[in-house]
Amino acid sequence: MESSAARRIILASTSPRRRELLSSLHIPFEVVPSHADETTPEDWSPEIIVTELAKRKADAVYLSLNPQDRQGVIVGSDTVVVRDHVVLGKPKDKQEAASMISSLQGRSHQVYTGVACIDSLTGETRVDYRMTVVTMKALTEEQIEAYAASGEGLDKAGAYGIQGLGSTIVTGIEGCYFNVVGLPLSLLAEMLASFGIAVF
Ligand SMILES: Cc1cn([C@H]2C[C@H](O)[C@@H](COP(=O)(O)OP(=O)(O)OP(=O)(O)O)O2)c(=O)[nH]c1=O
């Protein structure tokens, strides 16, 4: 298998979480923020939304590279929370954050993350996703307001962060933890391996 040092990895993301998660694989990478259009038709399923948006994010960076700089593998990713078939992205303010948490507490929901990898040398693209079930404890109105007021969930799908204070309101998960935080590392490692990049 080709050495990972021979291929660049470009993370097409503005997310500090995705950067931290990718760092934990101990492979060199660079970050190029991607500003793709994230609007989607109403009737798209969560699977289609996250795979299509992951691809759009990776594509935007691919297209921004000079043809002579196209050597690395570009990684794009997108996360949504789904409750009763309703897709929740990031809240627009603390009020919407409180209403999202109110709808998620005391029950389970799904978190979908799509990952797209583009080999910028050949244009070959792989896209896949993972789904994790997250269960949240029942919360009082005061607890919901206090958590929303912390601001932690404002830049996160579903208005919470399982990796922060949100850890105290999540009672369990089924599936990949890293998928909830925005980058399913076991899936990513498989996708990189298919491009000849071994993480160990
Ligand atoms: C549910 C959940 C989501 N999140 C985050 C992961 C994603 O960064 C974010 C969902 O928004 P995304 O639109 O997937 O990503 P982003 O805008 O943060 O970054 P990018 O530039 O790559 O598009 O929510 C957590 O950090 N913790 C959680 O528990």
**How many Cα atoms within 13 Å fall on the side-chain side of residue 65?**
23
Instruction: Give me the catalytic one of 43, 59, 69, 78.
Output: 78
- Ligand 1, atom 23, residue with closest C-alpha: 13
Length of the chain: 200
Structural domain includes residue 139: yes
Q: With 60 as the cut, is the pLDDT of residue 3 above it? A: no
Structural domain includes residue 58: yes
Q: What are phi and psi of 182, to 5 degrees?
A: 120, -5
Centroid of ligand 1 to alpha carbon of 10 (angstroms): 17
- Whether residue 43 lies in the annotated active site: no
Q: What are phi and psi of 132, to 5 degrees?
A: -125, 135
Question: What pLDDT does 48 receive?
Answer: 98
> Which residue out of 79, 80, 82, 87 has the highest number of ligand 1 atoms within 8 Å of its CB and is therefore the one to mutate?
79
| Percentage with pLDDT > 70 across the chain | 97
How far apart CA 102 and CA 106 sit, in angstroms, is 9
Report residue 163 CA to chain centroid gap: 13
Rounded-to-5 percentages of helix, strand, coil across the chain: 40, 25, 40
Question: What pLDDT does 6 receive?
Answer: 56
Domain count, the chain: 1
**What is the number of the ligand 1 atom nearest to the C-alpha of 162?**
29
Query: ipTM score of the complex?
Result: 0.98
State the pLDDT confidence band at 152, using cuts at 50, 70 and 90. Answer: very high
Structural domain includes residue 185: yes
How far apart CA 168 and CA 79 sit, in angstroms, is 21
Roughly how many angstroms between the first and final C-alpha of the chain, as a whole number? Answer: 11
CATH of the domain at 172: 3.90.950.10
Structural domain includes residue 199: no
How far apart CA 151 and CA 34 sit, in angstroms, is 24
How far apart CA 21 and CA 4 sit, in angstroms, is 17
State the pLDDT confidence band at 68, using cuts at 50, 70 and 90. Answer: confident
Structural domain includes residue 200: no
Query: Which range of residues forms the domain containing residue 46?
Result: 4-194
Question: What pLDDT does 7 receive?
Answer: 77
